[in-house]
Amino acid sequence: MNTGHGLMKLKEWQKNSDGSPARPSLKVANIDGLISSLCLQFDDMVQAKVTIYETFAHYLDAKNFPEGNSTANPDECFKQVYYIDRKTNEVAGESVEFELSSPFDLQGVMIPVRQIHNLCYWCMKGDYRSGNGCSYSGNKYF
């Protein structure tokens, strides 16, 4: 789904600085069973991307104000990306609720274990231009 139109409710959305990622829940209206159909077709929508845009009212589009809005600016927003981690509740014909997670907190998703350095990995191993892994022939590896 690439649209934000529809009835949705975001719960437990928070910003904290203690290191623990927020795990908000998203409740979506299930009009005509559309969301249930998507869940059946796409494995409960697990790992679907959800983007939340946060902005001030004075940056909203002019169509949100009866007399227009001269300060409207679609670029003035804070964007937060989450992914659907699991479906937590479904009320037939009414709503579907999902638990969201940060991109770094998905179940079963692995991150690379190799550390990132400011020096070429193959150069540090002594295999730069050796043919034992690195085929780069340039001289810019720092």
**Domain membership of residue 28 as a residue range:** 8-109
Average pLDDT estimate for 110-127:
68
Q: Indicate whether 33 and 94 sit together in one domain.
A: yes
Q: What is the pLDDT of residue 42?
A: 94
Q: Indicate whether 105 and 116 sit together in one domain.
A: no
Does residue 74 carry a pLDDT above 90? no
What value does the mean pLDDT of the chain take?
A: 80
Q: Indicate whether 41 and 98 sit together in one domain.
A: yes
Q: Indicate whether 104 and 125 sit together in one domain.
A: no
| CA-closest candidate to residue 23, choices 31, 34, 33, 12 | 12
What is the number of other CB atoms lying within 10 angstroms of the CB of residue 57?
A: 9
The domain total for the chain is: 2
Q: Is residue 87 part of a domain?
A: yes
> What CA–CA distance (Å, rounded) separates 93 from 53?
27
Q: Is residue 38 part of a domain?
A: yes
Average pLDDT estimate for 105-122:
65
Q: What is the pLDDT of residue 17?
A: 62
Task: Kindly give, in sequence order, each residue whose CB lies less than 8 Å from that of residue 84, ignoring residues fewer than 6 positions away.
Answer: 26, 44, 45, 46, 47, 48, 50, 98, 99, 100
Top pLDDT among 46 and 136 is at 46
Q: Is residue 2 part of a domain?
A: no
What would the pLDDT profile of 15-73 be if each residue is shown by its tens digit? 666 656 678 899 999 988 999 999 999 999 998 999 888 889 889 888 888 888 899 98
Q: Indicate whether 24 and 78 sit together in one domain.
A: yes
Q: Indicate whether 55 and 90 sit together in one domain.
A: yes
User: Predicted confidence band at 78 (pLDDT cuts at 50, 70, 90)?
Assistant: confident
